[in-house]
Amino acid sequence: MTTATVAAPRRLDLRDPTFWSNNAALFGLIAVIIVFAILSPSFLTGGNISNMLVSATILVVLSIGQQFAIVVAGIDLSIGSNLPWAAALLGFGVTHGWNLPLSIILAIVGGTAVGVINGLIVTKLRINDFIVTLGMFGVMNGLGLLLTDANSVPVNSGFLQGLALNGLGPIQYFWLVALAVAVVAFVVLFKTKFGTHLLATGGNRDAARSMGIKVDRVRIAAYSISGLLVGIAAVLLVAHTGTADPSLQTSQLLSSIAAVVLGGSSLFGGRASIVGTVAGALLLSVLITGFTLLNISQYYQPIAVGLVVLMSAVLSRFQR
C-alpha cells in the first residue's frame, strides 16, 4: 500500500524562484542594509540602528494589524485615519482630566471600535471591504478633527516618555512592544484554531462556510484585531511624538499595505507571514531612514518605496 507517511523534506533550493519570492522582504532588508552601510559609515552605528528600530515600531504594529485584515481577503484603509483618531482620543482623555491608564484604554477601545464597525458593515451589509474601510477612513478623519478642533494637543506624561525613550538595559520598550505583538500574532495565526479559520476564510470563504466555520464572525474578529492594533500603535505614536495629532497618516496606511505585500502575503487572502510582514515594515523604515542619513532629497523616498513594492509584486508572480 502506498501511503502518505513520507514527509516531504524541506529542501533549500537556491535556484528555486519561489524561495526568493517567499522571502523577498527579508532579502530586500539585508540588501538595503548592506548598501546603506557601504554608502554611510554612520548607518550601522548602535545609535542609528536603535533609532531605526524605534521609528519602525509603529509601522510594524500597524502592518501586523493590516495583515489580519488582508489574510481574510479584506483590506483596512481606515488605518490612515483610525490612527490619528485613536491618538486624538488619548489626547482628549488626558486634557479632560482622565488619568493616563484610562486615557490609554480609551484610545485602544476607540481604535478597536472602528475595527468592529468595519467588520460589521462588511459582513452584515455585504459591502466590499475596500469601499467600507475607505468610507470609514473619511468618517474617522472628520470625527478626529471635530474632537480636537483640528489642534494637536501635547501629552506630557512621564510614563509615555519613558516608554518611548527607555528600556530594559539596551533593549528599548518600543522593540519589546513590537516583538510582543509579532509573537502573539504569530501564535494566534499559526498555532490556534482561530488562526486556521482566519486562513481558511481568506483562502476559500465558501469552503470554510461549508465546513461550518462562522465566516462572518471570523471576518469581524479580523477587523477588530486590526482596529485593536491601530489603537496600540496610536499609544506608541503619542509616546514617540509627545503630541496627539489628528492629521491623517496616509503614508503609514500605504506603508502598512506595502509591508504586508512585501512580506509575501497574498492580497487575495489565505496566506500570511508575520516574519515577512515585520521584515517588510523594517525594510520600508530602513529605506526612509537611510535616505535621510545620506541627505538624499526626501522626494526620492516615495519613489524608492514605490519601486520596492513594484519589484516585490513582480517577484510574487513566482510564488509557489
Partner 1 sequence: MTPLLAVDAIDKNFGAVRALSGASLTLARGEITALVGDNGAGKSTLVRCITGVQRPDGGSIRFDGEEVHFHAPEEARALGIETVYQDLALVEDLTVWQNLFLNREITRGIGPVRLLDKRAMISSAEQTLSRLAVNVPSVRSTVRRMSGGQRQSIAISRAISWGSTLVIMDEPTAALGVRETRAVEDLIRRLRDEGITVLLISHDFDQVMRLSDQVWVLRQGTVAGGRRTKDTTGEAIVAMITGVDAEKPT
User: How many angstroms separate the CA atoms of 53 and 168, rounded?
Assistant: 15
Q: Which residues contact 81 (CB under 8 A, 6 or more apart)?
A: 136, 137, 138, 139, 140, 141, 144, 248, 249
Question: In this structure, are residues 112 and 224 in contact, taking their beta carbons and an 8 Å threshold?
Answer: yes
Query: Of the candidates 132, 200, 261, 282, which one interacts with partner 1 according to CB under 8 A?
Result: 200
How near is the Cβ of 313 to partner 1 at its closest, in Å?
18
| Site membership for partner 1, residue 14 (CB under 8 A) | no
Query: Of the candidates 12, 169, 210, 295, which one interacts with partner 1 according to CB under 8 A?
Result: 210
| Site membership for partner 1, residue 277 (CB under 8 A) | no
User: How many angstroms separate the CA atoms of 142 and 4, rounded?
Assistant: 57
| Site membership for partner 1, residue 2 (CB under 8 A) | yes
Stretch of 88-96, 146-154, 169-177, 265-273 lying at the interface with partner 1 (CB under 8 A):
265-273
Query: Of the candidates 212, 295, 297, 317, which one interacts with partner 1 according to CB under 8 A?
Result: 212
Task: Look at the chain and count its residues.
Answer: 320
Question: By C-beta, is 197 or 240 nearer to partner 1?
Answer: 197
Residue of 127, 38, 134, 72 lying closest to 267 (CA atoms): 72
| Site membership for partner 1, residue 192 (CB under 8 A) | yes
| Site membership for partner 1, residue 320 (CB under 8 A) | yes
Question: By C-beta, is 8 or 125 nearer to partner 1?
Answer: 8
Other C-beta atoms lying within 10 Å of the C-beta of residue 18: 12
Amino acid at 259: A
| Site membership for partner 1, residue 11 (CB under 8 A) | no
Question: In this structure, are residues 205 and 73 in contact, taking their beta carbons and an 8 Å threshold?
Answer: yes
Which residues form the interface with partner 1 (CB under 8 A)?
1-8, 187, 191-193, 196-197, 199-200, 203-204, 206-208, 210-213, 266, 270-271, 320
